[in-house]
Amino acid sequence: MKYTLINRNKSTSANDHSEFVRWMRKNDIQHFSENNEFMEAYSFRKSTFENIHLRFESEETFVEDLVKNELLSIEDQKKTWNFFKK
């Protein structure tokens, strides 16, 4: 799937939410060893500076809230060929 951080206009392909959060963590200006540390810190920054509340209990809820708050879009990269359908 293609994950796009809307405000930054940065995209990556990832197989699942965990892989995407790992990508976010590795591209953050701060260093974090684990996704859960990163998600908590990222959530704190968004809450403090932008009044956006993100859950960080799991990669799934974190990504869900990124989408809900229009910070992230997710697209299925599978191309379908519809010209054969009538």
Q: Looking at the domain assignment, is residue 31 inside a domain?
A: yes
* CA 11 to chain CA mean position, Å: 10
Q: Which pLDDT score, from 0 to 100, does residue 82 have?
A: 54
Q: What is the pTM of this model?
A: 0.86
Q: Looking at the domain assignment, is residue 83 inside a domain?
A: no
Q: Check: CB of residue 46 under 8 Å from CB of residue 62.
A: no
Q: Looking at the domain assignment, is residue 29 inside a domain?
A: yes
Tell me how crowded residue 43 is: count the other CB atoms within 10 A of its CB.
18
- The total of structural domains in the chain comes to 1
Q: Check: CB of residue 22 under 8 Å from CB of residue 29.
A: no
Q: Looking at the domain assignment, is residue 40 inside a domain?
A: yes
pLDDT in tens, the chain (86 residues): 999 999 998 999 999 999 999 999 999 999 999 999 999 999 999 999 999 999 999 999 999 999 999 999 999 977 655 555 54
Q: Looking at the domain assignment, is residue 19 inside a domain?
A: yes
Domain extent at residue 13: 2-78
Token pair 């379908």 is found at 80
Q: Which pLDDT score, from 0 to 100, does residue 81 have?
A: 54
Q: Looking at the domain assignment, is residue 86 inside a domain?
A: no
Q: Looking at the domain assignment, is residue 45 inside a domain?
A: yes
